[in-house]
Amino acid sequence: MILSNEERFKLVKRNTSEIVSEEELMNLLKKKKNPVVYWGTAVTGKPSLAYFFPILKLSDFSKAGFKVKILLADLHGALDGTPWLILEHRYDYYKEAITQILKALGTDLKKIEFVKGSEFQLGHEYMYDVLKIASMASVHDCKKAASEVVKMGDNPMLGGLIYPIMQALDEQYLGVDIQFGGLDQRKILMFARENLPKAGYDRRVEVMNPMIQGLIGKKMSSSDPKSKIDLTDDEKTIKDKVNYSYCMEGNSDCGIMEFLKYVIMTIKSDNKEKFSVERADKFGGNVDYSNYNDIEKDFLEKKLHPMDLKNAVAKEIILLLDKVDKKKLNELAKKAYTTLN
């Protein structure tokens, strides 16, 4: 099926919150049938269920003709606090976790190229360019760029300020036309656009997807396991976490609804499947939805109760994670998330 450039544009734009700039994106699509996009993740905390969202989004790029690269940024992980001693194990975990998610989503793995950061980021030219940009980017700007992504605290390490410079150069050295990332990356992505030209390179198009809220607060927290669902959580844990999650009747501003919208219902509508809510006849009986808007409408009008919604969502999450090889991940996690003293 050959898509028009407008259709390709729409696919890339779907479920995103910002594109810088849409005009450049359109020009890119007109110019290249098979542009390159990359999505990167620093190997830090444990990838959670939320990773399904950006990874699912990668298939939109793929359908729009893009070559897709996934950067497993090990060195960036270390610059954000992952201990150097277990960095390699952490990398192994990420690679396996993301592979499992891709499989669970039915993605053709041959269409995805994995790249390990340290494999090209330690090269002569790369280092030269890091120093070049570092000599022209202010401490202030680097700090600002990293502030929403890198853990800073009262006494930030210098590594966190080199982080955005390397992320900018990754666009060049991975040979991509687009970097795709979460909206939390916005400042880093804008930093890349501003600073790549200083090293003589073209700025890239930046595509951002919205952030999915945590289950019990706006942000997912690695210190509170109840705020997110882990890839290795079993059925009972998933049900408990979903049930415990913050989801008020008539208010769709919560992590459950967001995951439903961006992940579950995106998959369902692509597959022409329906989202089924089971409930006793006395509560209205079973109901099927074919798109998110209908669900949200019912939810806002209190025709769909949080309890029934939660049960249905939990069932879908269990189904998604059913394909994940949890045993393998748990095994890798032993070395990857050991506590060092």
Footprint of a copy of itself on this chain (CB under 8 A)? 75, 78-79, 81, 84, 118, 121-128, 130-132, 134-140, 142-143, 155-159, 161-162, 165
Q: For strand 67-73 and strand 36-42, is the pairing parallel, antiparallel, or unpaired?
A: parallel
Cα–Cα distance for residue pair 171/189, rounded to 1 Å: 10
* Residue in the block written with tokens 């790369």: 126
Q: Which is nearer to a copy of itself, 120 or 246 (CB)?
A: 120
Collapsing DSSP to helix, strand or coil, 18 comes out as: strand
Phi-psi region of 207 (alpha: psi -120 to 50; beta: other; left: phi over 0): beta
Least Cα distance to 36 among 14, 71, 65, 7 occurs for 65
Instruction: State the nearest-atom distance from the C-beta of 133 to a copy of itself, in Å.
Output: 8
Shorter beta-carbon distance to a copy of itself: residue 124 or 327: 124
Cβ proximity to a copy of itself: between 3 and 190 the closer is 190
Question: Please, which residues have CB within 8 angstroms of residue 335's CB and are 6 or more apart in sequence?
Answer: 86, 89, 92
Residue 90 sits at φ, ψ, to 5 deg, of -65, -40
Closest contact distance (angstroms) between CB of 235 and a copy of itself is: 39
Q: For strand 18-20 and strand 205-209, is the pairing parallel, antiparallel, or unpaired?
A: antiparallel
Q: Could you tell me the smallest distance in angstroms from the CB atom of residue 150 to a copy of itself? A: 10
CB of 123 to a copy of itself, least distance (A): 7
Shortest reach from residue 73's CB to a copy of itself, in Å: 12
How many CB atoms lie under 10 A from the CB of residue 26? 17
Nearer to a copy of itself, 125 or 202 (CB): 125
Beta bridge partners of 37: 68, 178
Task: Please say which residue, 12 or 79, places its beta carbon nearer to a copy of itself.
Answer: 79
Which residue, 79 or 97, has its beta carbon nearer to a copy of itself? 79
Going from the C-alpha of 111 to that of each of 55, 120, 203, the distances in angstroms are 13, 21, 25
For a copy of itself, give the closer residue by CB, 34 or 135: 135
Nearer to a copy of itself, 86 or 231 (CB): 86
Tokens of 138: 């202010």
Which residues, other chains included, contact 62 with Cβ-Cβ below 8 Å and sequence gap of 6+? 68, 107, 111
In this structure, are residues 171 and 199 in contact, taking their beta carbons and an 8 Å threshold? no
Minimum Å gap between C-beta 40 and a copy of itself is 16
Work out how close the CB of 79 gets to a copy of itself at its nearest, in angstroms, rounded to a whole number.
5
Minimum distance of a copy of itself from residue 122's CB (angstroms): 4
Tokens of 288: 């099927």
